[in-house]
Amino acid sequence: MSEDFSRPPNPHRLYRNRSKGAWCGVCAGVSDYFNIDVVIIRIGFALSFFIFGPFIFLAYFIACFVLPTRGKQTPKMKPEEDQFWRGVERRPEVTFSNLRYQFRDLEDRLADLERIVTSKEWKLRRQFRDLET
């Protein structure tokens, strides 16, 4: 229970994924983070060896020690939640704008509902309904 409050609100983080990984799980973790197939990440890693040379292996092994391992306790998210957190992570200003628009729309709808419920016509209709029963 205390783990629910101590973890960050955004569960979408960069981890090493040992369950899908070949060596240390760095490529699998990167593929989970960017939502790309693991094979594409591994091919990119192999091709980057020809560009950067042995420095890419050094970066990989540093990532093995720096990145935390993805635990089994991380819950699976619904596709809508995953899409939301990825949007927050990549474009926070757009997500904030969308949330602001949704809250303004809800506020307008609530104001309309409040206007209808507090009107004299609503009270009159309720009195007629009460007379019918």
- Indicate the pLDDT class of residue 84, thresholds 50, 70 and 90: confident
Please say whether the beta carbons of 63 and 26 come within 8 A: yes
At residue 110, the pLDDT reads 94
The CA distance from 32 to 17, in Å, is 8
At residue 104, the pLDDT reads 93
- Indicate the pLDDT class of residue 67, thresholds 50, 70 and 90: confident
- Indicate the pLDDT class of residue 2, thresholds 50, 70 and 90: very low
pLDDT, average across residues 63-85: 72
pLDDT, average across residues 110-121: 89
Q: Which residues of 87-106 are buried (b: 16+ CB within 10 A; e: fewer)?
A: ebeeeeeebeeeeeeeeeee
Q: What is the pLDDT of residues 87-111, one digit of tens each?
A: 666 667 777 788 888 899 999 999 9
